[in-house]
Amino acid sequence: MNLDYFVLIDRILDLDLAERTIKVEAQVPERHTIFEGHFPGFPIMPGVLLTEAMAQSSGWLLLGVLKFERMPFLAIVKEAKMRGFVSPGQLLTIDAKVEHEGSGFAVTKAKGRVGKDLKCSAEITFGLAPFPDPAFRVHMDAMANKIGFPLQAMPHD
Amino acid sequence: MSSTFDQIANIIAETCDIPRDTIKPESHAIDDLGIDSLDFLDIAFAIDKAFGIKMPLEKWTQEVNDGKATTEQYFVLKNLADRIDELVAAKNAGTGAAS
């Protein structure tokens, strides 16, 4: 995780476009100023960041499903449940699947675990829109390479 | 089995917290019921799931923006029910999405 840049996902472990599922890893940093305030003497990942991590995982899945032709933008979070504390230094594994692909929107379900322990889950809806700027698309391509987005799932221009 | 309109009205009432008895076949989803685009995403998801279809919202929006259709054709609820019935019929006939 690079919390300063709001990059919550480190690695894509598996992307199955036929099953429309993804599994990613997110290493919670040992130290960050966030943990100084949240909370003093009891540092834990804020639930809003766990939700964002589930959203980013779902976003990479949808980018694969959409062949990078559209960008998923977070629209609705439902049933977000923080089921247990996630501490600095823990390795979070997030699984997401496409629940529904509608016209101009998509819905995913995501679950985050530390080891076998379920820590968070949510149903997340995204609006799907063309990339608003070519530089944005270039950035996402670079990010995809960095986090191990499977080459065979990348569109070839 | 309830009518298509009743199913839509129940979905809208539940999703948008609008009293069910205020939702009429003549109601315009946007102009009369005040449903915004975000709530309509939620409604579209529920309708797609309930009827096993994919409402072509982007196509409808494009037609309205191009002046080829009016919002009433798609967003007055009795008309929306008709569009959904067409989509279900097309799906059952194996002809894909109706438009």
Whether residue A110 contacts residue A59, with contact meaning beta carbons closer than 8 Å, is answered with no
Read off the pLDDT of residues A63-118 as tens digits, 9 standing for 90 and up.
999 999 999 999 999 999 999 999 999 999 999 999 999 999 999 999 999 999 99
**Percent of chain A topping pLDDT 70:** 99
Q: What is the pLDDT of residue B94?
A: 81
pLDDT tens across B35-70, in order?
Answer: 998 999 999 999 999 999 999 999 999 999 999 999
Q: Stretch B63-80: mean pLDDT, rounded?
A: 94
DSSP-assigned beta bridge partners for residue A127: A73, A105
ipTM: 0.86
By Cβ distance, the residue of B38, B49, B58 closest to A100 is B49
d(CA A55, CA A121): 10
Mean pLDDT of B82-91: 95
Interchain pair A75, B49: CB under 8 A:
no
Is position A38 annotated as part of the catalytic site? yes
With cut-offs at 50, 70 and 90, classify the pLDDT of residue B99: very low
- The predicted-structure confidence for A13-27, as pLDDT tens digits, reads as follows 999 999 999 999 999
- Return d(Cα B46, Cα B40) in angstroms, integer: 10
B56-95 core/surface letters (b: 16 or more CB in 10 A; e: else): bbeebbebbeeeeeebeebbbbebbbebbeebeeebeeee
Of the residues A103, A109, A124, the best mutation for testing chain B's interface (the one with the most B CB atoms within 10 Å of its CB) is: A103
